[in-house]
Every structure is written in C-alpha cells, then in structure tokens.
Structure 1
Amino acid sequence: MNKPNILLIQTDQQTAETLSLYGNTALATPALEALAERGVVFEQAFCNYPACAPSRSSMFTGRYCSTLNLHANHMLINPAEVTLPQVLKNHGYQTAIIGKNHAFMDKQPSIYPGGVPDNPALLREAFDYVRLADHGHMVDGFRDDPGAQAAHAWAVEHCWSSPLGHGTNPAPIEKCGTYLLGETMLDYLDHVRNVEKPFFTWLSFPDPHTPYQVPEPYASLIRPEDVPMPPVDTLEGKPERVKVAHLMDAMDKADEALIRQVRAIHYGMIRFIDDTLAKIFARMEELGLWDNTVIIFTSDHGDSMGAHGIIQKHNFFYDSFTHVPFVMSVPGYEGSKRTSNLLELIDIMPTLLELAEIPVPPGCQGKSHVPFLRGDASYIPREYVVMESGEHGDPVKVSDITLRPEHPFDERYFVWCAYSDAWIGKGKAIRTNDWKLCVYANGEGELYDLKADPHELHNRFDDPAQAAVRIELERKLLLWSMEKEDRLPLNNTVNLSMQSMREKYDVN
C-alpha cells in the first residue's frame, strides 16, 4: 500500500478564532496544537457558503454552490455529481463516514431531475462504512443506550429551541456524542478498516453547533470572565438583513454576561473534541498509521458568537461566519508551520487527490495546494477567495417582523437561521488579505478595509474615497463569475478543431 491514508476531521459551526492556534488566549487545544507541529496552519481558510449543507457539498465536489445549484441549507448533493469519496473508492480506498453527514443523500430525491447515474453520489454508495450522528448525543450504535438517550433529551429540552439556550449537561462524559464518536473511530481503526487498503475517513463532529451544552468538567473549564469578546458593532451602515437577524435572535435583549456564558460553553465543547482527538491520534501512533496518514482539521463554517450582535450563522459574510480553522498534517512535510496563503474549502478535493496521485475529475473548481506543501517554487497562491449565500427573492425587512422572541431564552419561535426566510436574498463576497467586498442582489453592499478594520465594523461601500477599491473588486468578482460558470457537460459534439487539422496534416 503506497497511497496515504486520509483522515478528514470536521467540526460543525466553529470559527477559527476559537482556537489558540489563531490567537485565542482562553482555550488550549493540545491535540490540535500537536497536529500543527507536524504540519501547517492555514491562517486564512474560508468556507464557500456560511451554512452546513451547501458548504459540505462544495467541499466534497470541489465545486461552488452556484455551480451545484445548491442555494439553501438542507439541499444536498445531486446524485449525478462526482464526489471525493467516490473517486477515492474507485481508486482502491476504503471510505468511511463517522459522524454528521448533511451533504450526501440516502436516496435520489425528486428535487433533482434525471435518472440515477451508474455511480451515484449517494451516502451508502460513496461510503463503505456509515455511522451517523445527530446534533445532541445520538450516534449510530448507541441510539438505544438509556444514558445516551437521557443526555440527548436533556440537550434538546434545555438548549435547542431558544436563541441563546445553553447549559451543563448532567450526563456522564461516556454517554455524550463527542465521546461516542471517538469510541466509534477507535473501533474502526482497531477492527473495521481493511488493512490491505488505504482508508479515507470523514470524522464529522456535530459540535460545537447548537445545542450549546456540554458535561463537566468541560462546562466549567473556561471562566466566562476569561472569554475574549468581540467589539460591539452598532450595526450602523450595515445591510438590513443583519439588523433583522439581530432582532429575530433577540440579541438586542442579550447582555455581555450572557454572551460570555454561551461562549464559555462553546469553548468547552471544543476542548471535549480536542481531548477525543488526542485519544484517536495516540491510537493511530500505536497502530503505525501516523506516518502514512494525511490529516486535515477544519470546520464547515463559523458561529458569530456575539460578533456583530449575531448568534450562530446567517446569510451574510463576516469572518465570524466564514473564517474556518484549517490544520493539515502531511507525511514528510518539512515546510513552514504557518501560512497566510488563502484557501477555500473546495480546495480540499483537488489537494487530497493530488496527494493520492489520482486525477482530478473534470469540472472541479478548487485549487490544489500540493505544490505549496512540497515547496514548489512555481506555486501561485490564491489572490482572493469567493463566498456565496442565499436564495432568489427579496430579503426580510425589519418592517416585516410581526413575531419575534421576546428574550434570548424564548422557545416559541425557534432560531432565525433555521427559517427559510432568513436565507432569502442572494449575495456573493470576494475577500483578499486586505479587503472584503460583499454584494447583494437587492443592491445593498459592504466593503471593509481588513487591515485598518479587522472586525468589519465600518462599512465603506458608499465611501467615495474607496470607489476605486470597490470597482476593482467588483471587476474581479465579475471575471470570477464568468470563469466559474459550469464547465460540465464537456462539449464532445464538434469534431473539427485546430488540433484535429494539425494531426490530419502532421503539422507540429
């Protein structure tokens, strides 16, 4: 076996700034810090859509959501698409998913027309081994366990429906989802994997997404007073959709003390994951797998956690939603431990396939970073990243609000990001290391000088002094849109070409 094993570790709804690797002073994550010592931290990695299903679907196809026709959460991968686990499986890999899916369908839906292809991108066709997990504490293989059921019921009852519901789950650690996923992964390594094949495993933790809750000792691990807080955003000059989200999640009723408490629980959930990874990494070393396994740690999108007066995820593009952690360990890597090179999650597919020496499928729109990892002087970093979000239509206005939570623990109306209305109103954003431009279909826009204003507080979209910057970024976004229009299907209908003439007349 000369191809590397691949372990793709993904959390759900975790912003890069939650980790010490990105400057967080309150939370230590020793396992991830050790992983970074064996590899490289991409300081500027971004999701391509600030919601679970579209982000994961882009990641596993290497194609943008506008190409995939995925424009809302819960729209999953068209079975006719070609996905990373399918390609790896076709080239001899044993494929496994352990954890949250929210990308692959179990059966062909009616939402996509056409017949089922010969090798469809369906969950149980793409993965040889499937052990799924839900938000809370339900994990395949443990769903009938009374302790796990009790942990899940407490999480749902106390911390699921209200915007800022959070708490200490009274269940023992051994009955909680993160622990059970760790045990499932250990069992896979010990008893399930085919030692005659390389493996590709997607270890997908549903945390630290809502419900915001965790057992002890993690619930009390971080003192709220030690939690770093984002600066207050007055929302002056911000698009109306931001103000709608602020009201619909009752964040106008949340004080700093409450937000600190939620952030502390969020951090505890992350440390629980890190301790679980430490056990997995140790077992991999015991089994002699560490030196032939590519490991990536990332998240599908962020959680604003109070930044911009918002909680969770929403239909706009602040770094608190889109800037994700990205740590990559590659056997034999000897390069820099950190890089500011821009990276998008759609880059995962071509990067991993090139490392496995497998051709990248036609239509893949991501960029391989293997030349960087190998120290190739010809490597050209991305000039910018692009993010997309939203569905067609006019977004909700403040004047449209007739029902809303009265306080952050009001469970009557559920969280705003779960509403279809919250994602009405298409937008695209282009981000360099210095500037970010967000353009929305209803004419609103945002422009941020990231060097002078890293927290994205002062919108310069209508500032005449920055008109040249705005025009330049709009032009880049227009050219990107033309370049990234779908290349599939390939045109094989015309046989006459300059190359065919050269071959006919033997002209070099």
Structure 2
Amino acid sequence: MNKQLTMKRRSFLTTTCATASVLAVSSARGKKAKPLMKNGKPMNIVVMMVDEWRYDQFGYRGERMIKTPNIDKLAESGNSFDNTYCVSPICTPSRGSLWTGQYTMKHGCNFVTMDKHMPPDQWSYIDTLKKSGYVIGLSGKNHIFNDEFMDKYFDFREEYTHFGKNHGTMTKADQAVYDYRHDEKRPEFKSDTPDQGSVLFEGLIEGPLPFKKEECMTHRIAEDGIRFLRDHADDDKPFMLHYSFPDPHWPNVVPEPYYSMYDPSKIEFEGMDIDWATHPAAHYIQSTANGFGDYTMAERQRIAATMYGQMTFIDDSVGLFMDELKRLGLDENTIVVFTADHGNFGGHYGMIGKTKAFYDSLVRIPLIVQFPGIENGREFSANIENVDIMPTVMEYLGAPAQKGIHGKSFLEILRQGHGTHRNEIFAEIGLNQAPPPVMPLKELDAYAKMRKAKDGNSWFLDYTVKGRSSMLIKDDWKYCHYVGDREELYNLKDDPLELRNHAALGGHETKLAEMRAALLDKILKASMEPDAWSA
C-alpha cells in the first residue's frame, strides 16, 4: 500500500455519539425525515460492484475452478440471493436502475455514451443520501453519472474506466497503464465506437499485462478504497462508498501471477451445441464481429483463462478492502452490498462477453448483502431485481419509502428467512431506433468481413444497440421480444442453458400467447408509474 494511506485512528464511539444528533434523511421533496440510524448508530454503506460477471462463477455458488475465497467469505458472513436479475444487460442502464430503483424506460439512461449518463438534476438515491449528511465516495468505475453530477454529489472521486484511471490522484504507473490500454495494436480491432477510439477491445490478447499487479487498476482501486475508509473512519458523518471494478469486462488482460493461474486446456464450455439459426440473429453478431467465429477452441480457452485471472484479482482486492473495514472497526456499522451490473456469457456457447440478449448468463447476477444485526450465513431463492437493492437498504435505515419507483424492498424476506418476493422478473434493453433487417446466419461470415472492411470493428452496434427488446420470466418460463428479430420462449427448469427456443421450434403456442400477453401487461403497467423525481 502507498504511504499516503497511513492515518491516525480515533475512537469509533466518539463518532457515533457526535453523529447521532445531526444525521437526517430528506425525501425527494427535500423535507427532513427521521435520522438514518440503526440501534442508535449511524450506518455506513459500501456498494461493491463488478462489471460483467456471470452469477454462478463463484466458489460459494459451486464453481470449482475459479478461486474467489474472499467473496465466498463475504457470502458466508452475509446473505446471498441466488435468483437476482439485472433489469438491463448493459452497463449504464443497469447502473441507472440500481441507483434510482427504476426501469430504464423511466430513468432514460439507455446507452453507455456520455450523453446518456445521469445529469445532476435527476433524482437518485445518491441525492437522498447526500441530503442525509452522507459523505459520498467512488473508488473505481462510474459509467452512470455525468461530470456535473459527480461534481455536485461526490466528495471523493477516484475513477477508472475499462481503459485506465481517468480522474483523481494519478501515479506514473496509472498513466502508463492508461497509455497501454489506449493502444490497440491489433489492426482488425481498431474501433471508431463513441468514447473508445483505439482502446484495447474484445477478443484474444496474448500475454500478461506488462505491469506489476500493484500498478494495475484492480489493485489501485483497492488502495483508493482503503484510503477512503481511513480518511473517513472517524468522521462526524457516515459515508457511502461505491467500490466498483471495471473487470472482468473486456479487454480481457491481467498481470502475473493471474495470467498463468489457470490452465486453459482444462477449461470446458457448456452449450456448444446451440443452434444459432433458431435464436435471434443479433445474439451471435457481436461475438462474430469480435473474432469468436474464427477462434479455435484453444484460443477461446485462453480468453476464458485470462478472464478467470481477472476474477481472482478482483477477489484479492475485495479481501484487502474487507480486512481493512474490519481492522478499523467499521464492520459493525457498515452495510455491505456485493453485486454485478450484468452477467457475461462466461464461456457458455464458447463465448466471452455480452450482447443484446436475455440469457440467464447475461441477466442473472450475484447478490450478497450484509446488514448489521440481521442473521447472516443464509442462501435465499427469492426472485430479486436489482431495482430492489437500494429500497431495501433505505428501509433498513428507517428512511421513508420512495414513491414512483419500480423497486421494492426485500427486507421482510431477510427478517422472515423465506419468501418469493416477485412472481415475475422483467428486463429491457435497446435504443428507440429501428434495427437493420435480420441477417441470415448462413450469410453472416461474408457480411461481417465486408462490414468490417468498410465500417470498422464496431459495425455490430447497429444490430446490438438499435431496437427495443424486453424479457419476462414467470413460472419457470422466459419470454423475450425483440423489435425486428426472432422472439424467444424457454422453459428454464427443463432447459437452463436456453438451447431450445420453443418460439422457433413450435409446440407451445398457448404458452407463447400467454407470455406475450403477460409481457405487454408488465410494460404497460410499468410505464404508468410516476417519475421518482416528481413524486
């Protein structure tokens, strides 16, 4: 750790007494409510987030190869929810839903570019916490709030993108890592995608990241997060820290010892017998554009092994942070949430990454929560959407329920030890723009080569970004509707890998009609909810 992290520690009890009389919560109208206290103590909040991590690739979920001992320990000392879903399988929309408790159709942050990031005059739970006296911090990835929002609300901003540190205290190593990740040497991956330019892109990148692990982003995020803890351990105010990792999202690069930690030849992929001709065309286009159509099995395994190394690197940084939280005596009055913005194919169908799709590997996410004073060490099968997370945190703190949101607290599930919570799960993705005509699979390879030569690597965005799409899960069935593309119907109990699309194969017309009607009903009801910031 850097010497700058060293700081004197004062009594936690002194802080508790000093804070008890001043902390209050504001509603969206700005009125004062009762203090955010629990058992006479102010409660800190840590929201840990990883980017693009499949829900089942953790030791506590039965994963045998990928080493995640610190996250497993977090699950053992907290409560894990096995059926948690993001409400959009793309970074910015999902993060917007976490912080507002609203579906994308309401908060409007529906794509990853800066013009779709949240402005300072839009309500979020950050606003409520700030008005309640919280010190707000970020160590890691943002990808939801614009610069004006960050200037208004965040007291601590050590920010990283997938391509390096871009705000805060920069070291020479930070700049070197940034420069390396902004130098895409593979000519076929040069990109004109907005906000990316010539950064490292998807696909196979041979060799380890040529830096010491202590110089790389995942470790530096831990250093910045620990510095925040030490700086505010004895403050008169509680804090909310967003501790957020850009990995294991692409580019899949990692330093030693993580690059060599996993033997690629021992990695096996499920779902390799998928028939893409019976699935929406957009699902395979992004991976084809980024080389997966041409990669050998050994090359795919190498990408996966690198991603596994990224995961264990993150796990180590989670351990460093949690050890310091405990050493400072903050674990007894800090809520800890661990989740992901969305999933990752993670090797399913021989692919790494994501696309405009609702496979469980992309929309089902990890969720671990630790609430001081609530029984821990349990696994729950309740159906949770990530819009439910912050309403649960706020109810635990005693804050009044926020009106005009889609999320609903699952605190009662934690208290009772059981429950379903939701009978349906909803998700959505896509811009309100017409997608191009469906490309037949047999013509895709030739078309992809032509488009890449003409328009560069990011031509696939026409297919994977444009066009609204929605999903509903109900009673073990999943239905997905795509504007301008093939619809999907899966029985998740019989077909967890979602290989057999009954909408294409036939035989379940009654169920298909039932799920179409249920999705339409869900969309119409959700669109009628009042805006949170005008509630």
Question: Same fold by TM-score, threshold 0.5 exceeded?
Answer: yes
Alignment of 1:103-122 (within 5 A): 103-107=144-148, 122=149
1:293/1:315 Cα in 2 relative to 1: closer, same or farther (>3 Å)? same
Whether contact under 8 Å (1:47, 1:55) holds in the other structure is yes
Shift of 1:487: 2.9
What is the aligned counterpart of 1:169 among 185, 194, 209? 209
Q: Paired residue for 1:32?
A: 71
1:231/1:289 Cα in 2 relative to 1: closer, same or farther (>3 Å)? same
1:96/1:353 Cα in 2 relative to 1: closer, same or farther (>3 Å)? same
What's the secondary structure of 2:311's corresponding residue?
helix
Whether contact under 8 Å (2:248, 2:311) holds in the other structure is yes
Alignment size in residue pairs: 475
Q: Paired residue for 1:414?
A: 457
Q: Paired residue for 2:306?
A: 265
What's the secondary structure of 1:34's corresponding residue?
helix
What's the secondary structure of 1:11's corresponding residue?
strand
CA RMSD of aligned residues (A): 2.8
The superposition leaves residues 65-101 of structure 1 with CA deviations (integer Å, 9 ceiling, x where unpaired) of: 0112333332122444311111111122221111111
What is the aligned counterpart of 2:164 among 125, 128, 137? 137
Q: Distance in 1 between matches of 2:166 and 2:313?
A: 16
Shift of 1:172: 0.6
Q: Distance in 2 between matches of 1:172 and 1:433?
A: 49
Q: TM-score, normalised by structure 2?
A: 0.82
Q: Does 2:183 align with 1:150? A: no
Shift of 1:34: 0.8
Q: Distance in 2 between matches of 1:70 and 1:150?
A: 32
Percent of paired sites with the same residue? 28
Q: Does 2:287 align with 1:214? A: no
Whether contact under 8 Å (2:470, 2:480) holds in the other structure is yes
Q: Distance in 2 between matches of 1:46 and 1:22?
A: 15
Q: Distance in 2 between matches of 1:486 and 1:76?
A: 23
The superposition leaves residues 418-466 of structure 1 with CA deviations (integer Å, 9 ceiling, x where unpaired) of: x355311211001246121101122620011111111111100145532
What's the secondary structure of 2:507's corresponding residue?
helix
Q: Paired residue for 2:9?
A: none
What's the secondary structure of 1:168's corresponding residue?
coil
Whether contact under 8 Å (1:430, 1:437) holds in the other structure is yes
Aligned amino acid, residue 127 of structure 2: Q
Q: Does 2:469 align with 1:430? A: no
1:141/1:105 Cα in 2 relative to 1: closer, same or farther (>3 Å)? closer
1:106/1:149 Cα in 2 relative to 1: closer, same or farther (>3 Å)? closer
1:204/1:336 Cα in 2 relative to 1: closer, same or farther (>3 Å)? closer
Q: Paired residue for 1:369?
A: 410
1:405/1:185 Cα in 2 relative to 1: closer, same or farther (>3 Å)? farther
Q: Distance in 1 between matches of 2:315 and 2:110?
A: 32
Q: Paired residue for 2:363?
A: 322
Aligned amino acid, residue 472 of structure 2: I
What is the aligned counterpart of 1:126 among 146, 153, 164? 153
1:228/1:329 Cα in 2 relative to 1: closer, same or farther (>3 Å)? farther
Q: Does 2:99 align with 1:60? A: yes
**Structure 1 range deviating more: 97-106 or 299-308:** 299-308
Q: Distance in 1 between matches of 2:145 and 2:223?
A: 23
**Structure 1 range deviating more: 235-244 or 271-280:** 235-244
Shift of 1:335: 5.4
Shift of 1:150: 2.6
Q: Does 2:484 align with 1:457? A: no
The superposition leaves residues 458-503 of structure 1 with CA deviations (integer Å, 9 ceiling, x where unpaired) of: 10014553223222322222221222114335999xxxxxxxxxxx
What's the secondary structure of 1:262's corresponding residue?
helix
The superposition leaves residues 331-363 of structure 1 with CA deviations (integer Å, 9 ceiling, x where unpaired) of: 122256111111111111211111111123221
1:266/1:396 Cα in 2 relative to 1: closer, same or farther (>3 Å)? farther
Q: Where does structure 1 lack aligned partners over 5 or more consecutive residues? A: 108-121, 493-508
Aligned amino acid, residue 488 of structure 2: E
Q: Distance in 1 between matches of 2:159 and 2:316?
A: 20
Aligned amino acid, residue 7 of structure 1: V
Q: Where does structure 2 lack aligned partners over 5 or more consecutive residues? A: 1-15, 17-40, 187-199
